[in-house]
Amino acid sequence: MRIVVIGTGYVGLVSGVCFSDFGHDVVCVDKDARKIDMLRSGKVPIFEPGLDRLMIRNVEAGRLTFTLDLDEAMEGAEAVFIAVGTPTRRGDGHADLTYVMAAAEEVAQKAKDYIVIVTKSTVPVGTNRKVREVVAAANPALDFDVASNPEFLREGAAIDDFMKPDRVVVGVETDRAAKVMAEIYRPLYLREFPIVTTDLESAEMIKYAANAFLATKITFINEIAALCEKVGADVKEVSKGMGLDNRIGKNFLHAGPGFGGSCFPKDTKALARIGQENASPMRITEAVISINEQVKRRMVDKLLDLCDGTFNGKVIAIMGVTFKPNTDDMRDAPSLTVVPALLGGGATVRVVDPQGRHEGEQLLPRVDWIEDPYAASQEADLIVILTEWNEFRALDLGRIASSMKTPRMADLRNIYTAEDARAAGFKAYSSVGRPDMEG
Ligand SMILES: NC(=O)c1ccc[n+]([C@@H]2O[C@H](COP(=O)([O-])OP(=O)(O)OC[C@H]3O[C@@H](n4cnc5c(N)ncnc54)[C@H](O)[C@@H]3O)[C@@H](O)[C@H]2O)c1
């Protein structure tokens, strides 16, 4: 089957590459000429483990191409996936649907024969119906269906998540559209991955409900972590003891500096907004949004304590600025709250991140980018582990402590222990939800 994917970002490119690996003929379209040029020359514009190899394999097999020209891409296509961004609209927290609607209108203008227009972007309930109206208005003669197919992949593990999903969610209105979607996901049907086929509204809601629930789980353990610090409990023990309960599960119970990324912050805001608009407030989600902001600020207070009450004149080495490891994505990363607070307080900030520099340079313009964690720690007053990249999990802490001006560590991902820090010669160690190192 010939499939068009509009948008070659984290979701569109992974979807396009994986669909071509399923054996479909896929054309990926983007408006960004720089991205299309890179893709055509065999380079992946984002960092996603394994994506380059899979992409090249399918390009070489003749199943995957890239273009700026939607007209050319649509020739003979039976389905078009809209995988463009839905960022938070300035001012009101609503998902900005400008890109989705623009793409839908372009599809309507170019399509000639029956086509299924599938929204893969995360969109508020009711959007697929609006897409249908927009397309019908732009091209009244067109024979088409809409479908909702929200994406659940995680950056950093995107290919595995796409190829071996916990489930695929498909919202449709007609059997004809259901058949096209079944054909697209046939390799997953054959391997008996669960496919939830439902109506448009439920499919749209599943995505928001899932993300808000996961964000709630993270926020819950972050609140428990703050309480653990007050009462002398260890949140890692608490998470383990909770997570072993099958009804709870161990995932998303790691205390840390607050959630970030391209999805949870904007999707929780959008769900809260949908609730307000429908006079059915999402009070838990609203609390999660505000607590998460407090969590990030609490991290700044922690660092301030470690710096004896002032950042002024301090040299601080930050390990990791992307919102999580194995991605170059900086959207809404906790580092975007923490680092400006340090700089604003008069600190010199050095940053080490295996993949974050390209995005980070614009977002964190006044920091020094250093490749090596040991070089970054030289003569520093504090090191902060902000993202748990594997590169930071087995540091020679003795070497780091002995090269620092004052050996102090904030381990905001709980990858070391106070005992590790003491044994290495650190004079102060603070983590999240666990007892600090006694002086
Ligand atoms: N990033 C994730 O981990 C993730 C996971 C699940 C769902 N989602 C959802 O998927 C959607 C896309 O997210 P993303 O992170 O891939 O976004 P992104 O910003 O990385 O990519 C979007 C791409 O769409 C292109 N684009 C915009 N309008 C276009 C148009 N009219 N024609 C052609 N190209 C156009 C942009 O140039 C850009 O390359 C969002 O709704 C997001 O919430 C993202």
Same domain, 184 and 238: no
Give me the pLDDT at residue 90, please: 83
Q: With the C-alpha atoms ordered 6, 8, 11, 17, is the resulting torsion angle positive or negative?
A: positive
Same domain, 279 and 386: yes
Same domain, 160 and 89: yes
Of 180, 198, 216, the last residue of a domain is: 198
Give me the pLDDT at residue 91, please: 82
Same domain, 194 and 241: no
In a domain, 221, yes or no: no
Supply the residue whose CA is at minimum distance from atom 36 of ligand 1.
7
Give me the pLDDT at residue 438, please: 67
Same domain, 160 and 249: no
Is 331 one of the annotated binding-site residues? yes
Measured from the CB, is residue 88 less than 6 Å from ligand 1?
no
Same domain, 259 and 375: yes
User: pLDDT by residue (tens digit) across 164-191?
Assistant: 999 999 999 999 999 999 999 999 999 9
Residue 168: how many CA atoms within 13 Å on its side-chain side?
Answer: 22
Rounded CA separation 59/127 (Å): 33
Q: Which of 168, 262, 323, 327 to mutate to test the pocket of ligand 1 (most atoms within 8 A of CB)?
A: 262
Average pLDDT of the residues in 122-141: 97
Catalytic residue, chosen from 18, 28, 228, 263, is 263
Same domain, 301 and 256: yes
In a domain, 83, yes or no: yes
Q: Which of 13, 30, 94 to mutate to test the pocket of ligand 1 (most atoms within 8 A of CB)?
A: 30
User: pLDDT by residue (tens digit) across 271-329?
Assistant: 999 999 999 999 999 999 999 999 999 999 999 999 999 999 999 999 999 999 999 99
In a domain, 224, yes or no: no
Give me the pLDDT at residue 437, please: 77
User: pLDDT by residue (tens digit) across 366-404?
Assistant: 999 999 999 999 999 999 999 999 999 999 999 999 999
| Owning domain of residue 338 | 234-439
Is 269 one of the annotated binding-site residues? no
CATH number at residue 80: 3.40.50.720
In a domain, 416, yes or no: yes
Measured from the CB, is residue 256 less than 6 Å from ligand 1?
no
Of 176, 198, 220, the last residue of a domain is: 198
In a domain, 325, yes or no: yes
Give me the pLDDT at residue 439, please: 58
Structure tokens at 345: 């307080």
Same domain, 185 and 280: no
Q: Which of 8, 10, 271, 323 to mutate to test the pocket of ligand 1 (most atoms within 8 A of CB)?
A: 10
Taking CA atoms, 60 is separated from 42, 54, 271, in Å, by: 10, 10, 42
User: pLDDT by residue (tens digit) across 12-37?
Assistant: 999 999 999 999 999 999 999 999 99
Same domain, 410 and 283: yes
Q: How far is the CA of 13 from the centre of ligand 1 (A)?
A: 9
Same domain, 243 and 194: no
Give me the pLDDT at residue 435, please: 86
What is the tally of structural domains in the chain? 2
User: pLDDT by residue (tens digit) across 201-212?
Assistant: 999 999 999 999
Same domain, 96 and 16: yes
Structure tokens at 150: 């929200």
Known catalytic membership, residue 228: no
User: pLDDT by residue (tens digit) across 326-371?
Assistant: 999 999 999 999 999 999 999 999 999 999 999 999 999 999 999 9
Q: Which atom of ligand 1 is nearest to the CA of 120?
A: 10
Mean model confidence pLDDT for the chain: 97
In a domain, 284, yes or no: yes
In a domain, 375, yes or no: yes
Give me the pLDDT at residue 436, please: 85
In a domain, 223, yes or no: no
Same domain, 306 and 433: yes
